[in-house]
A and B are shown apart, each in its own frame.
Chain A
């Protein structure tokens, strides 16, 4: 069920009154059941996988809570994490393993009925949440859940199920009322909060705008160039590379904004997943702004432990930890050479950036260049490097990516058969300008509603009351969606992961 569909809107609208009519203490149970229904409507076949992961995680968490021996806790944690990783790897990388093991497997026709494995919906996301929960229970950062419905609500919360954000267990727990009904301090959690609901609606609108106005319109030109690279040359190809970077950003950030927005309607807040990534001044900064919850997750559960255990290796240890972390980001997207290359490329960028940072600091200090100039130059270089890495991603194979990059050297011309695509090129340039303009006035931490038209609003319209400024922005976005939105139901790019 796509977020941009009438059926999803109907599902949420039908669920909301029932949710708020349910007694507060039973709302986690209601959310868990609702998410199960959502899963059944979307992909019923793999609901048992979700339930199995939840059950294993629940009992493992409880066992960790009651276990006294550190050694037993460590052993249990390792076993459960390994089990969850194997489960994830089995579904996610099955086709890869099949390819690798093909020479030693029986003839494919004998195994074919069993060799069709489809990636269960949201598996990457709920597996990461489950692994994080187990590790946090082990490190005693999260309270082991004593009620299964609460854990199921966390792992399967339907707005976050398909594409994140990957919220940490303790953050989600903080959104739920305490399991103990007598705890008055938390009794107002999951209750209707008009401010939160309003900001949720605004975030949904902002996400929808990014998806259907920006991403889906840019996609028309991007697809034209990537499908027929030989019809375009020079500047036309370069624009397609830029467009895909913005398309991917608008598509994915739009999706998670909508997910967070829907969550807020149910009284559940979640961390933001993007913070104006194309304003990043270097590659580390970029990864602090792009897919933040995944980066954070890996940083907490992979990079930091690795770095700690490799700290004896000095710079080499740091480089190894960074490389493994970035490789994990690449491979998380899929078991293809392209994603491995994506991870390696970013690992190299990250290592080079970290190692040369002191040198660059010195250089800029000696040259006495203004900080602003440094961030602009650094931002442009970072944007181009990131854009280059996305070429491989979109092209789907290394030769196809090089073929496209080769077209950059061709004369700036386009085949006459591409006239329609070029109309979308010019529209796309305007749309990117519009997006950057809207984001320019926002801080890295929020959507335009919270800044542009919020208390720190920078437009001359500050004389209007805040609620009016918000309504004006909402109305502008809705009108632009009607006018420019590509409402033909393009799927979200990130739902496949």
Chain B
């Protein structure tokens, strides 16, 4: 076919592209009113259909996001409520804890879950059920660091908004009226920030089906686990490639104690060119640059203080748990000052304990780089070891 044929094919064909063209404009005011009435009716029908599809999408895809489902478990009373951010999310295996302790455990840990989020989860729980048997609050040494939580971290939890949970908290955090408006009218938009995660889950279901039928797996990687919390410098693994805060990443809970998505990732995703020595060098480099940035944010301090106050007022048996962190010699004086403040807060009430080292996960494990993915997050091996240690703690602390 010669190049000159382009002329024929691209000639605009108005009847094709617009269907029949009846230029029957409205005749006078009456016609205009009729047209306006018809248009309004059509808009109303489209609006109702949008609402229906929007709710249908939410209903279908909400279930792909199991962290959302876990938060909805706030509607049910539990024995142990654990609240924190990605540090504990990576470090604890919910199914293992439940199986080992025989307790109803609800772990609400999301990347970017700052002290305000933790306070509001506890508030919501107390409002619904009163104090749990045991409340575990993640209190790490970077708790008040203004650079730790990305500004958009709360988008992680916007999916809870249509579920009617934490709505006051989330409403208060919208800084863009357009976002507030969109999330108020659209339930499925509340899942928008988790679309990467939800798409992954749907893809894997199809890929699993294809594999079953044909034996071929289109992509070898498993679902990404939760991206780590941004480092104090905001320059940590998981943040670099697409410019999106890792707090937008969603994570999947482990399906069982023995087989985890994390293991699959470790098997299938290699750290290209990164030997253990190279990783340590990277950690040192990253954290040495953060030394000067450990300034506190008053709002984060206030969030913590209000949580302590709430715990005191409701006499909630609580543990302030410092998650595992690989020791690096940077900013130690400031970190120690934060730790001291947390210790003091814990000491202010007899029903609060501060715990850093656990039997089974003490200084020896903390300084074992083989148990860590990065200085603030354990890897699969670390997760297994830490979950075992925390299970024993829960059994002991809940008085079983």
Q: State the A residues within 8 Å of B (CB).
A: 6, 167, 171, 188-189, 191-196, 199, 217, 220-221, 223-224, 227-228, 230-231, 233, 235, 264, 269-272, 275, 282, 284-285, 287-288, 292-293, 295-296, 299-300, 303-304, 307, 318, 321-322, 325, 350, 354, 357, 412-431, 445-446, 450, 454-455, 467-468, 471-472, 474-476, 478-480, 482-485, 487
Contact = CB atoms under 8 A, between A and B. Distances in A.
B397 interface: no
A224 B54 contact: no
A412 B5 CA distance: 42
B57 A479 contact: yes
Contact of B269 (A199, A285, A413, A430): A413
Given A6-B178, A296-B6, A419-B224, 6 more contacts: A195-B18, A415-B272, A417-B237, A419-B265, A420-B244, A423-B200
Interface of B: 1-7, 9-14, 16-26, 35, 42, 45-46, 49-50, 52-54, 56-58, 61, 178, 182, 186, 188-189, 191-192, 195-200, 202-204, 206, 218-221, 223-225, 227, 237-238, 240-244, 246, 248-250, 265, 268-274, 373
A320 B192 CA distance: 51
Q: Which of B6, B56, B203, B221 has the most CB of A within 10 A?
A: B6
Contacts of A192: 25-26
Given A288-B5, A416-B265, A416-B269, A423 B25 contact: no
Contact of B199 (A299, A427, A467): A427
Contacts of B56: 479
Contacts, number: 245
B251 to A, nearest CB: 9
A287 B10 CA distance: 10
A293 B269 contact: no
Contact of B6 (A167, A288, A446): A288
Given A195-B22, A284-B1, A423-B199, A479 B240 contact: no
Contacts of B54: 479, 482-483
A196 B18 contact: yes
Contacts of A271: 10-12, 17
B62 to A, nearest CB: 11
A175 B240 CA distance: 50
Contact of A483 (B191, B240, B268): B191
B271 A288 contact: no
A194 B35 contact: yes
10 contacts: A194-B22, A196-B18, A217-B195, A231-B272, A354-B2, A413-B268, A413-B270, A415-B272, A415-B274, A418-B269
A431 B206 CA distance: 13
A417 B19 contact: no
A362 B218 CA distance: 36
A6 B179 CA distance: 13
A424 B5 contact: no
A420 B241 contact: yes
B171 to A, nearest CB: 18
A428 B224 CA distance: 15
Nearest to A429: B203
A426 B10 contact: no
A427 B203 contact: yes
Contact of B203 (A272, A430, A480): A430
Contacts of A322: 3
B17 A482 contact: no
A485 B192 contact: yes
Contact of A191 (B10, B25, B42): B25
Contacts of A282: 1
Contacts of A412: 220
A298 to B, nearest CB: 9
Contacts of B273: 230
